[in-house]
Amino acid sequence: MSNRTTPKKTRPSQLRADKRRAILDAATKTFMRDGFGLAGIDRIVEESGVSKRTLYAHFPSKEALFGAIIREYCEVILTPLREPDLSDRDPRETLIALGRMFWEVLLSPDALSLYRVVIAEATRFPDLGRVFYESSHEPAARRLAAYIQEKSEEGLFRRVDSRTAAEGFFGLVRGYIHERALLDIDTQIDRDALDASLAFAADVFLRGVERTPTHP
């Protein structure tokens, strides 16, 4: 009697998932490197190791493939901004921590590459721009607005338009740092300068919303 075991066969569903993953990985590399316009399906097929027929069985068009990549990137890269932890700490500490998390996400190499591609293609694919915005800036602003409203009801903050205040805070946080990073002007982030910028943003914001200012 032979002791040889029969190798397990890969399930069709798993094989299909593996091929889809290979296509997405190859396409991501190609789109982020070349942009949508210059990215070629033949190059994606070559790098993924699947046939063109298989690629089109998963994604009916180059546009559909690009859209799937943007949505997946949003899911992976921008998740921390959707449900930030705004615990019962000092408001200044909370704001600085939120601002730092915002920067850790948006200044990551992957997020910068994604941002550049989305901006370049937003007029061609407005839905992708909306997906990107609704996966990053929108949930972060919505969560901070809820926090501001909560502190207003507690009497710590003045009654303000919480959404306007939240967007104003993120405007202070972004400053020109993000723009310089997108334009590849600042390739190395000065952490001390970033911390100073976050502290300044928190202090300016709190002077505007606190009922009785307690911060310099």
Say what the pLDDT of residue 125 is: 80
Q: Is residue 72 part of a domain?
A: no
Q: Is residue 140 part of a domain?
A: yes
| pLDDT digit string, tens, across residues 103-126 | 888 888 888 888 888 888 888 888
CA-wise closest residue to 203 among 189, 216, 185, 184: 216
- How many Å apart are CA 128 and CA 33, to the nearest integer? 18
First to last CA, the chain: 83
- Report the number of distinct structural domains present in the chain: 2
On whether the CB atoms of residues 32 and 109 are closer than 8 A, the answer is no
CATH number of 49's domain: 1.10.10.60
pLDDT class of 4 with cuts at 50, 70, 90: low
Residue 55 and residue 18 in one domain = yes
Q: Is residue 1 part of a domain?
A: no
Say what the pLDDT of residue 191 is: 85
Q: Is residue 160 part of a domain?
A: yes
Average pLDDT over residues 93-101: 89
Average pLDDT, the chain: 85
| pLDDT digit string, tens, across residues 10-23 | 676 788 899 999 99
Q: Is residue 215 part of a domain?
A: no
Residue 97 and residue 43 in one domain = no
Say what the pLDDT of residue 83 is: 65
| pLDDT digit string, tens, across residues 128-173 | 788 888 877 788 888 899 999 999 999 999 999 999 999 999 999 9
**79's tokens:** 């998740």
In this predicted structure, the answer to whether residue 33 has a pLDDT above a threshold of 90 is no
Please give the residue range of the domain that contains residue 16.
12-60
Q: Give the distance from CA 205 to its chain's centroid.
A: 24
| pLDDT digit string, tens, across residues 65-79 | 988 888 887 777 767
**Does residue 189 or residue 115 have the better pLDDT?**
115
Residue 97 and residue 199 in one domain = yes
Say what the pLDDT of residue 66 is: 87
155 Ramachandran zone, left/alpha/beta (phi>0; psi -120 to 50):
left
pTM equals: 0.74
Residue 123 and residue 195 in one domain = yes
CATH number of 187's domain: 1.10.357.10
Residue 95 and residue 35 in one domain = no
Residue 43 and residue 131 in one domain = no
Q: Is residue 31 part of a domain?
A: yes
| pLDDT digit string, tens, across residues 76-96 | 776 766 666 676 778 999 999
Residue 96 and residue 40 in one domain = no
Say what the pLDDT of residue 9 is: 57
Q: At 122, give phi and psi (nearest 5°).
A: -60, -35
pLDDT class of 215 with cuts at 50, 70, 90: low
Residue 88 and residue 53 in one domain = no
Q: Is residue 189 part of a domain?
A: yes
Residue 105 and residue 175 in one domain = yes
Q: Is residue 41 part of a domain?
A: yes
